[in-house]
Amino acid sequence: MSKIQSAFENGKAFIAFITCGDPDAETTVAAVRAAVENGADLIELGIPFSDPTAEGPVIQGANLRALRGGMTTDKVFDIVRTLRQDVTVPMVFMTYANVVFSYGAERFISTCRQTGIDGLILPDLPFEEKEEFLPLCRTYGVDLISLIAPTSENRIAMIAREAQGFLYLVSSLGVTGTRQEITTDLASIVSVVRQNTTVPCAIGFGISTPEQARKMADLSDGAIVGSAIIKLLEKYGKDAPAYIGAYVKSMKDALR
């Protein structure tokens, strides 16, 4: 069984996204630890990239701050090594295909395995082109996590049948960012997913309040939150981990 699925064994999963190196590596480590101590079941680590096409202004800003601060893919792997000294929950990378290509796909994916990264989310990798990385992911035991968007329609069943780790359901069209309300008919998408796989599915994009998290987790197996956490890092900088811990606790409590 994929280690990622252990995140979904104790009720609804809360998945926290944090951009590595915003504002620095030490704060990233402290923020992840605070999130895990307060109930995060799985951590998504963003590797900064200069052109993060799936991200809204909040996470784009985090990418730019991290890159300006000198964050590199090698330094991200160092962050993972530090975290794995005491963090046991599943961790996945969310980044872009170009980051993997430029590092060298085999070198990147083998280093994921060596450092303790359990999965890889590449929002700009079309499902039909996943063979570019899938054989290497299988070789090194790293789950290549698929995304399902509101526009996936007749491809949902196909994507679900080949899912690994967990399925990332994109709640709304557009980029990441907090939203006042989520109006997509997610229940019908989840229904098709359930008919085609036992792999858990979690909903992300636009979730920021405990009420939204509870609503999304009622439909699926968990909720993914990024921009709301990144806003705390932007506002509080090095002092953000304590605020992130309190925020994650409020979100996880809503899912219990």
Residue ranges in the chain whose pLDDT is less than 50: 174-183
Superfamily assignment of 12-255 in CATH? Aldolase class I (3.20.20.70)
What local confidence, expressed as pLDDT, does residue 50 receive?
86
Report the chain's C-alpha Rg in angstroms: 16
pTM of the prediction? 0.94
Q: Are 227 and 235 in contact, with CB atoms under 8 Å apart?
A: no
Neighbours of 45 (CB within 10 A): 21
Backbone φ and ψ for 37, nearest 5 degrees, come out as: -60, -25
For the chain, the structural domain boundaries read 12-255
The per-residue pLDDT for 119 is 98
CB-based contact 138:164 (threshold 8 Å):
no
Dist CA 37 CA 65 (whole Å): 26
pLDDT of residue 56: 75
pLDDT at 154: 86
Q: CA 32, 159, 17 angle in degrees (round to 5)? A: 10
Helices 25-37 and 240-255, interaxial angle, to 10°? 30
Length of the chain, in residues: 256
Per-residue pLDDT, 2: 86
How many CB atoms lie under 10 A from the CB of residue 211?
A: 10
Around Cβ 119, how many Cβ atoms within 10 Å? 24
Residue 53 is predicted with a pLDDT of 66
